[in-house]
Amino acid sequence: MPAASTTHSPERTVNRYYDPTTDQFLSIDPEVATTDQPYVFTNDNPLNSTDPIGSEAMSFEGGSGEIIGDAGGVGGVIGAEGEVSVINIEEANFAQKTASNTFSKGGTFSGKTIEEVARGIDSGKISIKSVKIQVIDSDGRALILNTRSALALEEAGIPRSEWIVEDMSANGAAQSRLGRQLARNGLGRSGTPTVRITGR
């Protein structure tokens, strides 16, 4: 019996071709001036997002995953049954006491500093849409998972009411990540309102 092929053909989206073996698009993002990411697929998060037209990642966490927000500092996602998971981002805390100034390798802002991302947001080179803030409802208080992204938005002067918020409360992997962050930082389920940035 012949071995199964492990090669994959590029997949066509409405706007571009995607290579599933590299998790990258094969052509430059038509919005590269805004995204600053010429080939990135699903904001480097293909397990929790999709990009069926090749121009904007969409989360499918918790159901349809349509990301929503409103001007009252409340955001969330539409869940599997169409219910809205309400998150009060205005009172959200962080899940860690300290954060390095440089974004982790492999993410959307890999190797950039918080200041660089903040300047990009402030200048319009980075779209606020590309800086999604993932949160988990922890005993009635939202905890921010992606600390550096939130700090960059704050440094750019973007009010929390304008943040794009993604509720990860139903995601088991995100819950595990939160538990590890809180334990590593000696924090309880309410987190901390402030973060000290290291490496500045």
For residue 46, the 8-state DSSP code is: T
Q: Which pLDDT belongs to residue 122? A: 92
Q: Which pLDDT belongs to residue 79? A: 35
**What's the token pair of residue 59?**
């989360």
**What's the token pair of residue 4?**
């199964």
Q: Which pLDDT belongs to residue 186? A: 93
Q: Are residues 104 and 157 in contact, defined by beta-carbon separation less than 8 angstroms?
A: no
Q: Which pLDDT belongs to residue 54? A: 58
Given CA atoms 161, 163, 166, 169 in this order, what sign does their dihedral have?
A: negative
| pLDDT tens over the chain, length 200 residues | 444 445 556 666 656 676 777 766 677 766 666 666 666 656 666 555 666 555 566 554 443 334 433 333 434 443 333 444 567 888 999 999 999 999 888 778 889 999 999 999 999 999 888 898 989 988 888 999 999 999 999 999 999 888 888 888 888 888 888 988 899 999 999 999 999 999 88
Region label for 83, one of left (φ > 0), alpha (ψ between -120 and 50) or beta (otherwise): beta
Q: Are residues 198 and 113 in contact, defined by beta-carbon separation less than 8 angstroms?
A: no
**What's the token pair of residue 173?**
């992997």
Q: Which pLDDT belongs to residue 76? A: 40
For residue 187, the 8-state DSSP code is: -
Cα(96)–Cα(99) distance, rounded to whole angstroms?
7
Cα(194)–Cα(200) distance, rounded to whole angstroms?
16
Q: Are residues 73 and 161 in contact, defined by beta-carbon separation less than 8 angstroms?
A: yes
Q: Are residues 3 and 96 in contact, defined by beta-carbon separation less than 8 angstroms?
A: no
Task: Provide the 3-class DSSP secondary structure of residue 145.
Answer: coil
**What's the token pair of residue 124?**
């319009």
Q: Which pLDDT belongs to residue 143? A: 94
